């Protein structure tokens, strides 16, 4: 029954849809190498933080958010309260709300279940690649856009989970002296640096970093919460100041 | 007893993180028509991920200590190398590979020299 449905689904894919899917996949190949490396590192990091292999696989499949996982691991390791883990996960994932707000016009015509599945597959690279191709297009909600997006997201999901699970089970073969857990910190760094493009963003980085450094010995890793509040405030104030400067110069 | 508690704690953390993923990824796509975000909130939200990620990274790189030898440690230097590599190449992969190689080289040199 299910097999018949799957078969029917694959036979119903038109050649135009296939072409759009492959076009998306082509754009995604290089970033997918980075995704694979990062997934492997995250897999290792989960086991190193004390998760059993089963729990680590469960986390990979259910959470599917590398930066939230890597953020949560030091918190879990230090036994931070669950609400703080949840709050930290929400904050790190907040970018997905912004992605969702930007992507929603393209996919609002889909049924709710399809939209639910599609949005659970959204990734950073998926968003960046899709928007750099269709961000300025006048027609939104085309079938081509959907299949192009799927061509990035579906392989991304497969590569991430496969590499992560390989990391969970094979990571133990990597000697301790290689300090591979440092690669997890570097992976977070690799997400932050491209995001810091404007002056207010630099200000946010400096303030959040300084506050996090000074408050790192606070109990329950509350320093993180303080750093986020300070960083967001610095960014918003910096933005206001920058736009006032601009007005002064151009006005 | 302790390990039993620990497992429930772990499972709770995983479930809550799954909820995080669902809420942030799906909420706007599913119900965005009903909740327009104001521009002010939208621009403030842009800073939260950077602040949170930096808030995690900095304590991992630089421990709070009066001893300067701990503040300028091999991880912090390797991270600086990784950032410079990214600024030159714009390739996220090099941040991970370059940073790891830098860490190994620095640790090797330290073992040889001292």
**Which one is predicted more confidently, A2 or A51?**
A51
Answer yes or no: do B16 and A82 touch at CB < 8 A: yes
B60 vs A91, A92, A185: nearest CB: A185
- Please give the Cα distance from B46 to B31 (Å, whole number): 20
Residue A118 has pLDDT above 90, yes or no: yes
B72 touches chain A (CB under 8 A): no
Per-residue pLDDT tens for A119-138?
999 988 788 788 878 877 88
ipTM of the complex as predicted: 0.79
- The average pLDDT across A199-215 equals 94
CA atoms within 13 A on the CB side of A26: 7
- The average pLDDT across A206-225 equals 86
- In 3D, which of A145, A32, A121, A79 has the Cα closest to residue B6? A79
N- to C-terminal Cα separation, chain A? 68
* Nearest C-alpha in B relative to A201: B47
Residue-level pLDDT at A29: 80
- As a whole-number percent, the residues of chain A with pLDDT over 70 amount to 98
In this prediction, residue A214 has a pLDDT band, given cuts at 50, 70 and 90, of: very high
Answer yes or no: do A216 and B95 touch at CB < 8 A: no
In this prediction, residue A43 has a pLDDT band, given cuts at 50, 70 and 90, of: very high
* Nearest C-alpha in B relative to A108: B29
Burial (0-12, 13-18, 19+ Cβ within 10 Å), A187? buried
Residue B9 has pLDDT above 70, yes or no: yes
Structure tokens at A2: 């299910």
Residue-level pLDDT at B2: 45
- As a whole-number percent, the residues of chain A with pLDDT over 90 amount to 46
């Amino acid at each position: 029954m299910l097999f018949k449905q799957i078969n029917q689904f694959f036979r119903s894919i038109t050649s135009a849809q296939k072409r759009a899917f492959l076009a998306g996949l082509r754009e995604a190949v290089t970033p997918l190498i980075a995704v694979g490396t990062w997934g492997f590192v995250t897999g290792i990091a989960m086991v190193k933080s004390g998760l059993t292999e089963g729990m680590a696989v469960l986390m990979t499949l259910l959470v599917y958010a590398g930066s939230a996982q890597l953020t949560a691991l030091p918190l879990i390791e230090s036994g931070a309260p669950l609400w703080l883990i949840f709050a930290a996960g929400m904050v790190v994932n907040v970018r997905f709300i912004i992605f969702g707000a930007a992507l929603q016009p393209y996919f609002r015509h889909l049924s709710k279940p399809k939209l639910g599945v599609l949005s659970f597959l959204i990734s950073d690279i998926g968003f960046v690649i899709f928007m750099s191709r269709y961000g300025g297009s006048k027609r939104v909600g085309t079938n081509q856009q959907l299949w192009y997006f799927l061509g990035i997201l579906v392989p991304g999901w497969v590569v991430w989970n496969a590499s992560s699970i390989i990391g969970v089970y094979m990571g133990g073969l990597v000697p301790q002296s290689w300090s591979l857990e440092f690669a997890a910190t570097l992976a977070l760094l690799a997400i932050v640096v491209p995001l810091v493009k404007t002056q207010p963003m630099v200000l946010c980085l400096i303030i959040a970093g300084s506050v996090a450094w000074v408050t790192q010995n606070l109990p329950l890793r509350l320093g993180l919460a303080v750093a986020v509040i300070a960083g967001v405030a610095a960014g918003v104030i910096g933005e206001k100041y920058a736009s006032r400067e601009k007005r002064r110069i151009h006005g | 007893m302790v390990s039993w508690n620990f497992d429930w704690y772990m499972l709770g953390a995983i479930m809550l993180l799954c909820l995080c993923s669902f809420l942030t990824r799906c909420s706007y796509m599913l119900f965005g028509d009903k909740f327009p975000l104001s521009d002010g909130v939208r621009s403030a939200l842009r800073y939260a991920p950077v602040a949170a990620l930096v808030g995690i990274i900095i304590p991992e790189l630089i421990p709070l200590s009066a001893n300067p030898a701990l503040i300028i440690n091999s991880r912090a230097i390797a991270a600086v190398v990784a950032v410079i590599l990214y600024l030159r190449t714009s390739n996220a992969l090099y941040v991970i590979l370059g940073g790891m190689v830098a860490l190994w080289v620095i640790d090797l040199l330290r073992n040889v020299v001292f």
